[in-house]
Amino acid sequence: MASDFDFFDPEFQANVHPHFARMREECPMAHAGEPFDWYAVTREKDVRALLHDWKHWTSELGPGLSREGGGGVLVSVDPPEHTFDRRIVNRAFTPASLLAMEPDITKLVDEIIDGFVEKGEGDFMQLLAVPVPLIVIAWLLGLDPDLVQQMRPRADAVISADALEQEEMVRRMREQAAAEGRGDDRGGGTRGQEEVRYFLGKIAERRAMHAAGEEMPPDTLTALVSTELNGRTLRDDEIVGFMGFLFIAGSATTTQLIGNMIYRLLQNPDQMELVRNNPDLYETCVEESLRYDAPVNGLFRTAVEDTEFLGVQVPKDTKVLCMFGSANLDPEMWEEPEKFDVTRDYEQLKLHYAFGQGIHYCMGAPLARVEAKVALKLVLERMPNLRLTGEPEEITAPVLHGVETLPVAWDAPAAD
């Protein structure tokens, strides 16, 4: 059977809006044949149906096309394991605690802008959109921000890899974490990933503090090491899975959000002026960016048994991509969906699918929202007359939607 669309074609990736529109109209359960049979749903009601029906559409085989899952945590498990994971992470990841980071994030973004503002031009992604989420996730995981920034290419490699490569990477990471966690070096040595060893070292440090009864930083790593639930705490390899997942899920996605939002405002100067003159619109602008340019095109669910969906016979273990970015543009749900409009009604707007919906709803959403709002505010305040100076490059990872580079210039402050 021929494919209805080619998700991995750079042309598709560069023009997702018209492709999504065609798929919603012509093939709402679109078939893809590479590297094995899978499908994509693009209408809002179908995306919603799958995301809320985790009993029939599982995450156990991972949220990507790869069938090895995401380290066996959160996004790649269902209840009851999912409930256990989510409760533990929630202890250090409550919406209230994430919102409380706003002053620290404001200070961070201000300092990063201090470091480059006099240049007057550069790649917005490298200058701001990349470092901010990486440093924030380093704070949460108790990691060294400089080291974490050096790890970024490796995280990107995982996201950009194709399904079969990802399966291999995740399997290796899991084996190494389990082997080294047992004090067994077989998985380590030269074949081991330095990230896994680094994470394990941090876990050991924190466990020692916990055992000695020392006061520990109130971050996510402390919660992972010390929280006991149902009579047990997490093993080292489980914590490494969490850290790897949070590191990847928490950085690249928010980088795309910040980049997409600024790029879209640069293409819509009237909307940028509206936001600049109405700080009340910051939050709506972030939500409209999430709707219009969802940083994650979509994530997969897997059929738990032979079934039928939209008249298509779906064998057990078939993966279906829930296209968040397309649900966000479905005219059945949105008025003038192709219009980028920062004055939409916030209460309806917040129900976009950029963070998914249902039990796997993104736990980092409040953090991403704060980071994007702070970045927006300070970019508008401190980078006046911001303008594009060249053509941005599209990001290559198919699951992500956004730009890799965003060449801009602004009016630098006059030197004293």
Query: How many residues bind to another protein according to rule CB under 8 A?
Result: 23
Check if the beta carbon of residue 98 is closer than 8 Å to that of residue 365. Answer: no
Could you tell me whether strands 319-322 and 38-41 are parallel, antiparallel, or unpaired per DSSP bridges? parallel
Check if the beta carbon of residue 168 is closer than 8 Å to that of residue 157. Answer: no
Would you count residue 150 as binding another protein (CB under 8 A)?
Answer: no
Q: CB of 331: closest distance to another protein in angstroms?
A: 18
Instruction: Report the alpha-carbon distance of residue 51 to residue 48 in Å, rounded.
Output: 5
Closer residue to another protein in complex, CB, 97/256: 97
Backbone φ, ψ for residue 339 (5° rounding): -95, 125
Q: CB of 44: closest distance to another protein in angstroms?
A: 11
Would you count residue 351 as binding another protein (CB under 8 A)?
Answer: yes
In which residue are the tokens 């397309």 written?
Answer: 326
Would you count residue 336 as binding another protein (CB under 8 A)?
Answer: no
Pick the stretch among 134-142, 178-186, 194-202, 363-371 that binds another protein (CB under 8 A). 363-371
Q: CB of 281: closest distance to another protein in angstroms?
A: 18
Would you count residue 227 as binding another protein (CB under 8 A)?
Answer: no
Closer residue to another protein in complex, CB, 86/206: 86
Q: How many other CB atoms sit within 10 Å of the CB of residue 215?
A: 7
Would you count residue 94 as binding another protein (CB under 8 A)?
Answer: yes
Instruction: Report the alpha-carbon distance of residue 363 to residue 94 in Å, rounded.
Output: 8
In which residue are the tokens 């990841």 written?
Answer: 93
Closer residue to another protein in complex, CB, 55/232: 55
Would you count residue 357 as binding another protein (CB under 8 A)?
Answer: yes
Would you count residue 347 as binding another protein (CB under 8 A)?
Answer: yes
Would you count residue 349 as binding another protein (CB under 8 A)?
Answer: no
Structure tokens at 186: 């077989």
Pick the stretch among 190-198, 239-247, 313-321, 343-351 that binds another protein (CB under 8 A). 343-351
Could you tell me whether strands 407-409 and 319-322 are parallel, antiparallel, or unpaired per DSSP bridges? unpaired
Distance, C-alpha 374 to centroid of its chain: 18
Instruction: Report the alpha-carbon distance of residue 141 to residue 241 in Å, rounded.
Output: 12
> Which residue in 1, 2, 96, 415 binds another protein (CB under 8 A)?
96
Closer residue to another protein in complex, CB, 7/242: 242
Q: CB neighbours of 213 closer than 8 A, spacing ≥ 6?
A: none
Would you count residue 171 as binding another protein (CB under 8 A)?
Answer: no
> Which residue in 19, 43, 48, 344 binds another protein (CB under 8 A)?
48
Pick the stretch among 86-94, 123-131, 191-199, 402-410 that binds another protein (CB under 8 A). 86-94
Listed residue (367, 407, 408, 404) closest to 156, CA to CA: 404
> Which residue in 9, 26, 36, 52 binds another protein (CB under 8 A)?
52
Would you count residue 172 as binding another protein (CB under 8 A)?
Answer: no
Closer residue to another protein in complex, CB, 90/343: 90
Helix axis angle, 194-211 relative to 145-160, nearest 10°? 130
Instruction: Report the alpha-carbon distance of residue 296 to residue 353 in Å, rounded.
Output: 10
Pick the stretch among 133-141, 241-249, 346-354, 406-414 that binds another protein (CB under 8 A). 346-354
Pick the stretch among 9-17, 18-26, 84-92, 232-240 that binds another protein (CB under 8 A). 84-92
Listed residue (187, 182, 224, 184) closest to 202, CA to CA: 224
Closer residue to another protein in complex, CB, 83/405: 83
| CB burial readout 34-44, b (16+ within 10 A) else e | eeeebbbbbbb
Q: CB of 151: closest distance to another protein in angstroms?
A: 27
For the chain, counts of helices (H) and of strands (E):
18, 10
Interaction site with another protein (CB under 8 A): 48, 52, 54, 79, 83, 86-87, 90, 94-96, 347, 350-351, 355, 357-359, 361-363, 365-366
